[in-house]
Structure 1
Amino acid sequence: MNSDCGVMSGAVIFIKDNLKIDDTKVEIVTGIINLYALIGSAAAGRMSDWIGRRYTIIFAALIFFVGALIMGLAPNYAVLMLGRFIAGIGVGFGLMIAPVYTTELSPASSRGSLTSLPEVFINFGVLLGYISNFAFAGLPEYLGWRLMLGCGAIPPIFLALGALVMPESPRWLVMQGRLGEAKRVLLRTSNSKEEADSRLADIKEAAGIPKDCTDDLVVVPKRSHGEDVWKELLIRPSPAIRRVLIAALGIHFFQQASGIDAVVYYSPRIFEKAGITKKTDRLGATVAVGCSKMFCVLIATFLLDKIGRRPLLLTSTAGMVLSLVLLASGLTIIDHNPEKKIIWAIAVCIATVLTFVGSFSMGLGPIAWVYSSEIFPLRLRAQGASMGVAVNRVMSGLIGMTFISMYKAMTIGGTFFMFAGIVSLAWIFFYTFLPETRGKSLEELETFFEKPQLRSGKKEEGNFGQIQNENGVVASNGHDQL
């Protein structure tokens, strides 16, 4: 569903000319979908607890399908904005539920790789969007952008059909008291029967069901309509929940404050500022951006459960800072020499756009979704994840709706120097605040943040009388520390 980012980057060039809109309306139509996504993400948490994770995915796909059709058939700017509104709600649903579903379904040993798969498909969608822009660029203006946006209705069909045959989240099933179904799902998604039994016992304990309960169907105490969850998250959070919330919201804030969506949405404009004048050449260069994102997110998927979240996250962020500084420098040099075509500066700008999106996709891009969906306790996961999506979409919308105004006010180079400073702050936040979560079950992570000094590579006492050494091996110290 996030193929919209790639499609809009090129489609908006033709929308501006065909519908005769100014840059302010360009910013609005580009970024407003992310603010509309707030509605979807806010509703998705409650709905996924009500009808289940799987059917929420299907619902998200149907909403985006309708929105994409309306955008593709839009006769004017007003109808286009209606399509953006409906599609935005679908985006909010999808961004919230996809990582939660895959996190809850995955075993700890491969949770990072599997939970990053939605980001893989997002990047694949962005790449397809860029390719469709390039393919339809030669068509008449009134037809090209409508085909670009209308093609976005195709992927949700396959997503909805695929979701019909996917298993439900075992953790959601346990919350409903459907233990027999949960066990069958765990047997299908675990490496052995022993692992499935262990995972089921941990989930039952987290849900408040006795571990020795062997019934296939049990009565679970009725939960509130979410009021208690919001109180625990926002009004009276424990120190551990407060740290989880800061970590989850912080990583989503910095993911979008890095300026990634400015590059994804406005890469043709950036390449124009870098000296590439022909539309087809600029759209061709954006295909290279999509390829860089796709290649690097595949690397991240392979490495997340091998070397962990922190090393990838810190390396990714450092690469983004370096790329942004070089990109800003190149754009500044070109901007100060409008009469000259400085080939080496143009090459630096193109190369650093590719390394920036590549560095993002190798770490911060997928890890934000993986990390924020795995650290919340079971009872808070849906609403907590929806808050992360809300922060993510607000920042993405603000960047998308102000980027053109920002670079007109402070120059294109100055804008990317600003993003470099923000990403530098992000590196410090990640280094000091985000512990390693690789290899830990979701139930272990429910108590992981109760020790504020927990950090990767340090010896610490766990919450249940456990000591973790440098290699992540956990051993009992013989007494509880409750």
Structure 2
Amino acid sequence: MTEHARQRVPPFMKQLMAVSGVMLYMVGTGANIAYPGVLLQQLRQPDSVLKLNEEHESWIASILGLALIVGILVAPFSLQKLGRRLTNQLSTLPTMGGWALMVAARGPTALLISRTLQGFGMGLQAAAAPVSIAEYSAPKHRGAFLATIAFSFALGMLVAHTLGTLLFWRSAGIAIGSFYVMSLILITLSPETPPYLASVGKFDECRKAFRWFRGYNPASEKELEILLNSQKQQKNEIKVTRYRHYRTVILKPEFYKPTLIMMFMFVLFQVSGMTVVPSYTVPMMKEVTGGAIEDYTSMLMVDILRFATAVLSCFVVNRLNRRTVLFSGVIMTIVSLLLTALLLYLRDLDYIPEEYKWIPVIPTLAYIFGKTLGILPIPWTIAGEVFPLAYRSLGSGVTGLILSLMFFVVVKTAPTSFREIGINGTFCVYAFCTGVCGSFLYFLLPETKGKTLYEIECHFKGIECEMTKVDGTESDKMLELVKVEVDKDDGE
């Protein structure tokens, strides 16, 4: 078999297929977060056969955060022992079960159980998604592929709100649940990630999977050999220091530095209102517009802007430095939140004429644009890049726990915050918290764009990277090596 025949399907398309399985899951995750925005609106109607009180409503919106914690706690074990592929497959099962129960629910208890199942699956996937996508991807595509997490979130929110506007909530639930079925199919068709196979000593399988995803070329072969050699060395070191290894992990800069960065990243993600807005879009926009725009119209306006911005972010993240995108989004978010709060305050004091009471909508949409462009994609992009392979499962679990806790706290307290200090006061709190997290990240976050995962690992270890440019005679030698490996594989 010739090298050309082996690459009949371009490596990019194979990477895209594998990433698409995770993307479809994240579409479902975005829909899970946004679904209460339409579910609760429909259940408040006088003819609804399923009645909820205010406490039920806040728990239905926020219980995902508590369930996420359980999934996140299981995720490190699952990612390390079962692998990325099987973890992704297993994460679809509770979410599909949750949506099935949601569709059949006859009371608040069933709704809460269904949301708990969805949250557990989301917890597994929250840790697995950035790791899996980063390990599927070539360095030149990694930024764009990781940015698809943000795109998928935004698409899921748009899908949930659109379906919930057009369909009965049970019918909308069936449609959303189908995304997990498609996700499971694509994940099953994709191989395990090469870095995971290398980390567990399956080096021959790693070579096959790596070449399935990346094809045959000198640069990728160089990266493959460095991956294999680094993991062989790592395994030898772990055998020597097996009992002391886990006690010393927390003190290693390649673990605690990325962990600290991701903690601030995920706190920033939540305190910027990332999950509050889709969960409470209708009441929030009703206050912002002053009733000048119909509720569902304003909700879909926010969703369409968020989706369009998420599409734009896929290109921006792949072309601009990660730091540039993140801090541009942080600045836009803070300025827009404070300006919206100021205009709402002035409107309450009757300084804004009645015909212009919709004016706060403008900075609010700028806020949606800023946080979706920078604060939504970058944390997930960085999450897939900064942890060394040896600690990737553990690091993703620890930082995912922070994400889950903040999800629950921010979403659960939002109705009380809206009621006690108003939308304008809540926006001021979010702006302050966003500024604090952004300030810490300004000094902590390195630039990762265009670097291999091994190069990023070397940065945090403080050592010189072995990756060198392959050219000239070295390229010829590498091509000869590839041909030998190809012939060997053909013989087998």
User: What TM-score do the two structures reach when normalised by structure 2?
Assistant: 0.82
SS of 1:180 mapped into structure 2 = helix
The one-letter code sitting in structure 2 at the alignment partner of 1:14 is Q
1:20 offset after TM fit, Å? Answer: 3.5
Question: 1:315 deviation in Å?
Answer: 0.5
Aligned pairs, how many? 436
Any idea what SS the aligned residue of 1:20 has? coil
> In structure 2, do the counterparts of structure 1 residues 444 and 167 end up closer, same or farther at CA, with 3 Å as the change threshold?
same
Shift of 1:149: 3.3
Distance 1:249 1:296 in 2: 25
From 297, 304, 313, the equivalent of 1:291 is: 304
Q: How far, CA to CA, are the matches of 2:279 and 2:60 in structure 1?
A: 11
- Contact 2:269–2:376 under 8 Å retained in 1: yes
Alignment CA distance shift 1:267-1:465 (3 Å): closer
> For 1:310 and 1:164, how far apart are their aligned partners in 2?
35
Q: Is the 8 A contact 2:133 2:145 kept in 1?
A: yes
Task: Select 1:201's aligned residue among 225, 229, 236.
Answer: 225
Q: Is the 8 A contact 1:67 1:87 kept in 2?
A: yes
Deviation at 1:70, TM superposition (A): 0.7
Matched, 1:4 2:32: yes
CA distance in 1, matches of 2:203, 2:131: 20
Report the Cα offset of residue 209 of structure 1.
4.4
CA distance in 2, matches of 1:420, 1:246: 21
- Candidates 421, 439, 451, aligned match of 1:410: 421
Q: How much does 1:120 deviate?
A: 1.6
Q: Is the aligned partner of 1:78 residue 2:109?
A: yes
Judge conservation of contact 2:98–2:115 (CA < 8 Å) in 1.
Answer: yes
Please, which of 130, 135, 156 is the counterpart of residue 99 of structure 1?
Answer: 130
Unaligned runs of 5+ in 1: 137-143, 211-218, 452-462, 467-482
**In 2 relative to 1, CA 407–435 (structure 1 residues): closer, same or farther, beyond 3 Å?**
same
**1:465–1:167: structure 2 CA closer, same or farther, 3 Å change rule?**
closer
Give the partner amino acid of 1:241: F
Q: Which amino acid aligns with 1:109?
A: K
Deviation at 1:119, TM superposition (A): 2.4
Deviation, structure 1 residue 186: 2.0
The equivalent residue for 1:346 is 358
Distance 2:196 2:162 in 1: 38
Mark the CA change 1:101 to 1:332 in structure 2 (over 3 Å): closer, same or farther: same
1:301 and 2:325 correspond = no
How far off is 1:128 after superposition?
0.4
1:242 to 231, 249, 256: 256
Q: Which amino acid aligns with 1:353?
A: T
Amino acid at match of 2:394: Q
C-alpha separation in 2, matches of 1:39 and 1:161: 25
Find the counterpart in structure 1 of residue 483 from structure 2: none
AA aligned to 1:322 is V
Which residue in 2 is equivalent to 1:396?
407
> How far apart in 2 are the matches of 1:375 and 1:330?
40
* Structure 1 CA distance for aligned equivalents of residues 365 and 190 of structure 2: 35
1:324 aligns with 2:337: yes
> So what's the TM-score if we normalise by structure 1?
0.84
Offset at 1:341?
Answer: 7.5
Aligned residue number for residue 180 of structure 1: 204
The aligned residue for residue 9 of structure 2 is: none
Residue identity in the other structure for 1:148: A
Provide closer, same or farther for how the CA distance between residues 330 and 150 of structure 1 changes in structure 2, counting only shifts above 3 A. farther
One-letter code aligned to 1:72 = V
The answer (yes or no) to whether the contact 2:133–2:384 under 8 Å persists in 1 is no
Which residue of 2 is the match for residue 459 of structure 1? none
Distance 2:353 2:412 in 1: 30
The question of 1:87 aligning with 2:115 is answered no
1:127 matched residue in structure 2: 158
Matched with 2:213 is 189
Structure 2 gap segments, 5+ residues each:
1-27, 467-492
Contact kept, 8 Å, 1:334 with 1:345, in 2: the verdict is: yes
Correspondence 1:161 to 2:174:
no
Given the alignment of the two structures, is residue 251 of structure 1 paired with residue 254 of structure 2, yes or no? no
Deviation of the 1:107 alpha carbon:
1.7
Equivalent-residue separation in structure 2 for 1:223 and 1:46 (angstroms): 19
Deviates more, 1:375-384 or 1:302-311: 302-311
Q: Which has the higher helix share?
A: 2
CA distance in 1, matches of 2:333, 2:254: 30
2:245 & 2:258 partners in 1: Cα distance?
14
Worse-superposed segment, 315-324 or 424-433: 424-433
1:260 and 2:274 are equivalent in the alignment? yes
The percentage of aligned residue pairs carrying the same residue is 19
Measured in 1, the distance between the counterparts of 2:306 and 2:413 equals 23
Aligned to 1:477: none
Aligned partner of 1:347: which letter? I
Letter of the 1:307 partner, please give it: L
2:41 corresponds to which residue? 13
Distance 1:119 1:220, change over 3 A: farther
Of the three residues 271, 280, 286, the one matched with 2:285 is 271
- Give the Cα–Cα distance (whole angstroms) in 2 for the partners of residues 109 and 24 of structure 1: 48
CA offsets per residue over residues 287-345 of structure 1, 9 Å max, x none?
A: 1212112211222211223222000001011111111112222333344459x973433
**How far apart are 1:171 and its partner, in Å?**
0.5
Aligned AA (1:163)? I
Specify whether residues 286 and 371 from structure 1 end up closer, same or farther in structure 2 by C-alpha distance, changes over 3 A only: same
- Partner of 1:256: helix, strand, or coil? helix
Alpha-carbon shift at residue 275 of structure 1 (Å) = 4.3
Aligned counterpart for 1:148 among listed residues 156, 172, 180 = 172
Secondary structure at the aligned position of 1:440 is classed as: coil
CA 205–253 in structure 1, closer or farther in 2 if over 3 Å, else same: farther
Deviation larger for 165-174 or 325-334: 325-334
Per the TM alignment, residue 465 of structure 1 is displaced from its structure 2 partner at its CA by: 8.3
| 1:275–1:341 CA contact under 8 A, matched in 2 | no
Contact 1:247–1:372 (8 Å) recurs in 2: no
Q: Does the CA-based 8 Å contact 1:112-1:438 persist in structure 2?
A: yes
- 1:357 corresponds, among 368, 391, 396, to 368
Q: CA RMSD in A?
A: 2.8
Q: Report the Cα offset of residue 162 of structure 1.
A: 0.9
Is 1:367 the counterpart of 2:391 in the alignment?
no
CA–CA distance in structure 2, aligned partners of residues 101 and 154 of structure 1: 22
- Report if the CA contact (8 A) 1:175-1:220 is conserved: no
Q: Distance in 1 between matches of 2:252 and 2:182?
A: 42
- Looking at structure 2, the residues matched to 439 and 244 of structure 1 have their Cα atoms a distance apart, in angstroms, of 18
Does structure 2 retain, via aligned residues, the 8 Å contact 1:175–1:207? Answer: yes
Q: 2 CA distance for matches of 1:378 and 1:412?
A: 43
- CA deviations on 1:220-253 (whole Å, 9 max, x unpaired) are 89989x99776445xx422442222111111111
Partner of residue 455, structure 1: none
* Residues 327, 206 of structure 1: alpha-carbon distance in 2 compared, 3 angstrom cutoff: farther
Render the CA deviation track for 1:390-409: whole Å, top value 9, x for unaligned. Answer: 21121111111110101212
The whole-number CA distance in structure 2 between the counterparts of 1:33 and 1:228 is 36
Q: Deviations over 1:203-229 (max 9, x none)?
A: 22332349xxxxxxxx989989x9977
Question: Residue by residue, what CA displacement relative to the aligned partner does 1:450-471 show, whole Å, maximum 9, x if unpaired?
Answer: 45xxxxxxxxxxx2289xxxxx
Post-superposition offset of 1:9: 1.2
Which one-letter code corresponds to 1:92 in the other structure? G
